[in-house]
Amino acid sequence: MTPRMTAQRIDGKAFAAQLRERVGTIAAEFEQEAGRKAGLAVVLVGEDPASQVYVRSKGKATVAANMESFEHRLPEDASEADLLSLVERLNGDEAVDGILVQLPLPGHIDEQKVIAAISPDKDVDGFHVINAGRLSVGQSGFVPCTPLGCMMLLTDRLGDLSGLEAVVIGRSNIVGKPMAQLLLDANATVTIAHSRTRDLPAVVRRADIVVAAVGRAEMVKADWLKDGATVIDVGINRLPPEPGAQKGRLVGDVDFGGASEVAGAITPVPGGVGPMTIAVLLRNTLVAAHRNAGLDVPESL
């Protein structure tokens, strides 16, 4: 047997850096035309350490892309009513184009109620049912950042997706369902697989495109993949630490080492899908700013 070629690495980190650069340039032009910066408000409730890190990096990336960042921190014991009234205030604030309420929220706050309170035209996360509905009927709205980022990587790599078999593993509202919708809009033949799917390896073996978004470390194995498949790994899982180490390694939902010997192209973890999420958030915010200011959305966004 001839040794297999190794899959090409899909460099999400580099792609995201280019997208942020492009957003920064267009944001500067927006400021000239609109006479104000595009603005993103990020709301963090409580002290969750991972969320604090995300919120800080979102703030930095927003400012680096020539946009205004508004950070709102509420204490862990803030009431649902406090949060809803903050969202209401941001809905009415003309300097704010996009609103992101960092999830998860503390258990005493109803996440769905908070998402429903965000104006759909400022819902740059694309989580509001209005935006989910717009996506499902093909109207323009806001698409959740992670699946949109995956789609950008896929079309950059494959061009036209018409007729390709795509299998999305995972059916969350944030990734799996919108991902399937985007692939369907691009004329792929789409299967959504999940924890009750029978013979998952056989289903995945049909796929030209595999998007893994289940949150289970290295679940997708090399022998599940068709030769040359394009593999997008959305998972970010931390393995238990090796003896003597402080922290375990970060891995995706795909066994990267094995899959690299079968796939045509694959996203690494870290450095694949992860960096795309914030870049797309900035892009969505700048789209919102153009719409809110009554300006045409530039094609290159």
The catalytic site residues sit at 58, 102, 125
CA 144 vs CA 129, 150, 182, 241: distances in Å: 12, 10, 10, 32
- With beta carbons less than 8 A apart as the criterion, state whether 52 and 44 touch: yes
Q: Which is nearer to ligand GUN, 62 or 102 (by Cβ)?
A: 102
Find, among 85, 240, 252, the residue nearest to 170 by Cα.
Answer: 252
Q: Which is nearer to ligand GUN, 102 or 230 (by Cβ)?
A: 102
Q: Which is nearer to ligand GUN, 122 or 226 (by Cβ)?
A: 122
CA 149 vs CA 22, 120, 283: distances in Å: 15, 20, 10
CA dihedral defined by 9, 237, 101, 274, rounded to 10 degrees? Answer: -10
Q: Quick one: how far is CA 98 from the chain centroid?
A: 16
Task: Report, in Å, the least distance between residue 262 CB and ligand GUN.
Answer: 30
Q: Which is nearer to ligand GUN, 82 or 111 (by Cβ)?
A: 111
Q: Residue with CB nearest ligand GUN?
A: 103
Give the integer Cα–Cα distance in Å for 68 and 71: 10
Kindly list the residues in this chain that would bind ligand GUN in the complex (CB under 6 A): 100-103, 125, 145, 277
Task: Report, in Å, the least distance between residue 281 CB and ligand GUN.
Answer: 7
- With beta carbons less than 8 A apart as the criterion, state whether 19 and 279 touch: yes
Task: Report, in Å, the least distance between residue 227 CB and ligand GUN.
Answer: 33
Task: Report, in Å, the least distance between residue 41 CB and ligand GUN.
Answer: 12
